[in-house]
């Protein structure tokens, strides 16, 4: 790619030749992106790849902030992600959406809360 054009400036294509990914309700598929446990190398690259692939295929990606703790709490712990949300993240350490272990998620009630 020319130096003046990075992968962050390429316009985001949407859908696929078969059309957008649809859920059972006929709406665009919603995909939650979650990182769990401790930080590891490549987490931001993986998050970026999932988000941009989802967008290319017409799905709607969401960040589940702070791992399973964010899934259990819901609300502000789940945020929509856009193409630019993951721009310039490859050189950042850790994970841009946070990660946390969750004692609540180990119990059935916590798992049911995360599934809602």
Give the span between the Cα atoms of 107 and 56, in whole angstroms. 36
Identify the CATH number of the domain in which residue 38 sits: 3.40.50.450
Q: Is residue 13 part of a domain?
A: no
pLDDT digits (tens, 9 = 90+) for 11-49: 455 555 567 888 888 889 999 999 887 777 889 999 999
Q: Is residue 36 part of a domain?
A: yes
Predicted local distance difference test score (pLDDT) of residue 47: 94
Nearest to 33 by CA among 58, 84, 68, 57: 68
CB atoms near residue 38 (< 10 Å) = 11
DSSP string covering 21-32: -B-TTSSBPEEE
pLDDT digits (tens, 9 = 90+) for 54-79: 999 999 999 999 888 888 888 888 99
Predicted local distance difference test score (pLDDT) of residue 93: 82
- Cβ–Cβ < 8 Å for 50, 61: yes
């Amino acid at each position: 790619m020319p130096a003046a054009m990075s992968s962050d400036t390429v316009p985001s294509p949407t859908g696929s030749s078969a059309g957008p990914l649809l859920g059972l309700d006929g709406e665009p598929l919603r995909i939650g992106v979650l990182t769990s446990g401790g930080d590891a190398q490549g987490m931001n690259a993986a998050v970026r790849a999932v988000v941009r692939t989802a967008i290319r295929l017409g799905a709607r990606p969401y960040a589940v902030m702070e791992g399973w703790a964010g899934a259990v709490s819901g609300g502000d712990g789940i945020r929509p992600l856009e193409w630019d949300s993951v721009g310039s993240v490859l050189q950042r350490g850790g994970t841009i959406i946070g990660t946390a272990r969750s004692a609540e998620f180990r119990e059935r009630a916590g798992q049911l809360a995360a599934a809602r």
